[in-house]
Structure 1
């Protein structure tokens, strides 16, 4: 048991990639997609995870070889780099803070739903209970942030991500789709129904999150890695991308197996309880909810960190978690996150919308790193290979396609 715990705790900056990627945004998108379209969008998830792995590896390598972080390097080395960096900071922060509202709303709703399973008499006080739970969660997270050490953040995330992964994988053994559904899902197609295009954009927005790649150099440096850890960094990126795919696909498969075949699409958090319980029983439902809750809590940390991380990256390339700037920005993000619980908005709809907005800065983030890693002077003799360049260009083309798709989806929605 000590060896297993040691192995889990030895996991590197990839744990932050999983924390950013698999939050309630990802889980919500997977549940809604699995319950509404079956496994039809599995191909989008697979491509997003492949490109995410390539980008995590590339950003991590750049940091280890040059000693520079992403936005600092954009500002320093690229023409129009300062403007590009500012646009990325604004775009990513807007997307992540919007996502944070949905995450907190869903997490608070899930805790209430878990309590409600065993204490149904509390049904009449939903708004007050959910708001109270949301305030307690965000105050706890802010208090933990003030500890301000990379290793502490990493260990907290390891706990949440481990619970999340095990919960979803165990749920998958209880409720699963037919194999032919899974095979059909690997054939590219977009659901020809209202909301289909938006769901594709949301999938990419949550799985190929720009925040994951931009923050990686800082987390790699926080881990204490240097140029001698290039192999370890590569392995960490591959493992992170694979785990994101396995866990996300498990969530989609559970929703498909339990809800899609029953014709029960999910539109509210309560729908998950009403439809899963008769199929999977109280234990499986509680287990699935704990997984979703862990996904939410594992995302709140990185979402609160994103704005100070990007600003620190832009200003100096180092993150000071004890600075006044860090404390003020994270406190404002905490207050911002309470908007959905205070107004009692539908957190699932808010969450999917926020994921769509995340795709619009993605082409800039990919183009910037392509230009940097192909600068021979910066890379100090570490040539970027042909296959990696092909992967990066393919990721750029894919992100442009999805951004266009997201714009079309939002025009139809509004």
Structure 2
């Protein structure tokens, strides 16, 4: 009897695994948000244009991202306020509204571009199975319906667990590709040294817009704002500060590994052959003769997983921001939120229907994301130095110096991003 009771109360492996996974679900959610087709496009484009010479940009971006994720999360642990609540109460309601409008506009552009790229990739991939391939619109409609179906369940934990599976698939695909296609190790090591490569003679483009798009897709303001919501919903307090930091470290380390793997795959194949990238679906056709059908298929699967993983937080962004700002319960089963998410999801059909160039949409979108970053840094710099909010947990001089450095870096990338976008506009 006693032995049976002991066995019954012993945690099962599944229960232990579920408990361990729950510790990292907020970080996995951010990873899925961050590594979408925009990130894949930016990293692959950088690898094809400049090899591994811009790897240092990923390192700097990931360090900035960790610092900001940790700082925003810590702010919520100390004050109990999410970012938008703090902006509204402690700065000005207009600041909160600015972030809602700016982030929603960026997300709408991202939804169009992401689904356009995913549909384009699947179309190219399907040519090997069906003569002439399956039209992109069918793939776009399928993935839009899939994401909306998962959203319909309405529970954040279900989103996070679904996302964990897709992120695991994406990570495995890009890491396998890295080992198949990796460039010489010496090139990887050299890429860690900050430098500005010369203008690519094939494309005629300088590295600045590429750097801005890489920074824009990695150091993304939406990550930090949503992070505070996830921390609050997880029920973490100051006693969980170590747990919060560990979760952020895991998220950012995986972010770096996956981003570097994508850059390395493009560097080891496209850059080595002197081939530039004009659209993401080219990766499939270009990789196959250079690295074989298996590597091309694995990369395609990773791209699709990246696109679908980023669509979850993309379509949820607006209702979550509104709930945050108003302090309302985050009940995604309410009709107004379901209609809102449906309308945003349907934007994913725009690119396949109108045959737009998703690669250009994504690069410009990511460059614009860098523009709102300075405001995100400035706001947390102000809030985390207020004694009435943070008390003894105010920023140290070291933390403030890092924040100022990130602010200056973000202003530089914003300038470069705007300049690069202007250069791309028709004259």
TM-score by length of 2: 0.91
2:87 to 69, 74, 90: 74
Q: 1:107 to 1:6 in 2, by over 3 A?
A: farther
SS in 2 for 1:261: helix
Conservation of the 8 A alpha-carbon contact between 2:62 and 2:256: yes
* Counterpart Cα distance in 2 of 1:189 and 1:392: 24
Q: Which moved more, 1:242-251 or 1:196-205?
A: 196-205
What does the per-residue CA deviation read over 1:107-152, in whole Å, with 9 as the maximum and x for residues that have no partner? 11222233223x15134xx5xx210110121122112112111110
Report what 2:415 is aligned to.
404
* Counterpart Cα distance in 1 of 2:210 and 2:50: 10
SS in 2 for 1:13: helix
Report what 1:340 is aligned to.
351
1:40 to 38, 53, 62: 53
Unaligned runs of 5+ in 1: none
1:175 aligns with 2:173: no
2:333 to 322, 327, 337: 322
For residue 337 of structure 1, report the CA deviation from its aligned partner.
Answer: 2.4
Q: 1:101 to 1:252 in 2, by over 3 A?
A: same
Report what 1:122 is aligned to.
132
* Counterpart Cα distance in 2 of 1:315 and 1:190: 47
Conservation of the 8 A alpha-carbon contact between 2:284 and 2:297: no
For residue 16 of structure 1, report the CA deviation from its aligned partner.
Answer: 1.8
For residue 182 of structure 1, report the CA deviation from its aligned partner.
Answer: 1.9
Structural mapping, 1:3-402, within 5 Å? 7-8=20-21, 10-78=23-91, 81-117=92-128, 119-123=129-133, 129-186=135-192, 187-189=194-196, 191-192=198-199, 193-194=204-205, 196-316=207-327, 318-402=329-413
SS in 2 for 1:320: coil
Report what 2:3 is aligned to.
none
Q: 1:317 to 1:239 in 2, by over 3 A?
A: farther
SS in 2 for 1:224: coil
What does the per-residue CA deviation read over 1:295-351, in whole Å, with 9 as the maximum and x for residues that have no partner? 111000011011112222211165332233322221111122221111011212211
* Counterpart Cα distance in 1 of 2:328 and 2:197: 40
Q: 1:275 to 1:8 in 2, by over 3 A?
A: farther
After the TM superposition, list the runs of 4 or more consecutive aligned residues in structure 1 that deviate by more than 3 angstroms.
1-10
Conservation of the 8 A alpha-carbon contact between 2:50 and 2:197: no
For residue 196 of structure 1, report the CA deviation from its aligned partner.
Answer: 2.9
Report what 2:10 is aligned to.
none
* Counterpart Cα distance in 1 of 2:281 and 2:107: 24
Does 1 or 2 have the higher relative contact order (CA < 8 Å, sep 6+)?
Answer: 1
Q: 1:86 to 1:229 in 2, by over 3 A?
A: same
Q: 1:173 to 1:8 in 2, by over 3 A?
A: farther
* Counterpart Cα distance in 2 of 1:330 and 1:120: 33
* Counterpart Cα distance in 1 of 2:198 and 2:417: 14
- Equivalent residue pairs, number: 407
SS in 1 for 2:392: coil
Conservation of the 8 A alpha-carbon contact between 2:33 and 2:310: yes
* Counterpart Cα distance in 1 of 2:48 and 2:423: 22
Q: Which moved more, 1:281-290 or 1:244-253?
A: 281-290
Report what 2:6 is aligned to.
none
Q: 1:44 to 1:152 in 2, by over 3 A?
A: same
SS in 2 for 1:106: helix
What does the per-residue CA deviation read over 1:61-113, in whole Å, with 9 as the maximum and x for residues that have no partner? 111111101011011011xx222222221111111210111110111122223
Conservation of the 8 A alpha-carbon contact between 1:44 and 1:188: no
